[in-house]
Amino acid sequence: MKIRENRVLIATTNLGKLEEFKRILETPKCTFVGLDEFPQVKFPPEGQSYFENARIKARTAARQTGLVSVADDSGLEVLALGGRPGPLSARYGGPGLSDFERSAYLLSELETLGSVSRLARFVCVAALAIPDGPSFTEKGICRGVLLQEASGTKGFGYDPLFVPEGHERSFAEFSKNEKNQISHRGIALRAISAHLRKESFLS
């Protein structure tokens, strides 16, 4: 199956995530565009699993735009919180909170529990959907620990709280390229990029 349209839709409105996608997926065959160019795309309510959410977003975007589409669902899983916030990470603590406010809410929960494990992991499931064709999913995991207070000004989401295993800096203190080499999203999207590069998909 040949796809002659070389634009690939990254199904997100998060500008930080959009830039990460473009940097990791970069291939001379593709021009990457974001959802800001397709305000008509409407997604159904999200489910309770990374796989379900990523597939729904990618398939919906591909069906409504006719473009090869890539989406992801990512989350932070904290051991002491029983794996929360997980797939609800982007909405944790209630609607309308900023990244800073969600991080503060998470830290307050841990403080309430007292002296507990700070072990956590980031999980990402990325999905690629071909219009009227197959779809693929790939998973990435990055393990680490949570700081007691935010550190660093780069990145987005919970990056200022998360120190990846084997390192002493938070993700918000990494350069973009450093982070992409080891992050959950970097792992998942590099696997998706391998699908994108196949001649059977893009001419």
DSSP 3-state of 121: strand
Write the DSSP symbol of residue 202: B
Contact 177/154 with Cβ under 8 angstroms?
Answer: no
pLDDT means per 10 residues in the chain (203 residues)?
Answer: 70 86 82 90 87 94 94 96 93 90 95 91 96 92 96 91 96 93 95 78 53
DSSP 3-state of 65: helix
What is the pLDDT at residue 99?
92
What is the pLDDT at residue 5?
64
- Residues marked as catalytic: 73
What is the pLDDT at residue 196?
83
Which are the contacts of 58, defined by CB distance < 8 A and separation ≥ 6? 11, 69, 70, 71, 127, 128, 129, 135
DSSP string for residues in 146-162: E-SS---SSSSTTGGGE
Tokens for 3, please give them. 């796809």
CA dist 56 and 72 (Å) reads 10
163 has which bridge partners?
Answer: 145
124 has which bridge partners?
Answer: 74, 140
What is the pLDDT at residue 199?
45
DSSP string for residues in 67-104: SEEEEEEEEEEEGGGTT-EETTGGGTTSTT--HHHHHH
Residue ranges of alpha helices (H) inside the chain are 15-25, 50-65, 99-113, 176-182, 184-196
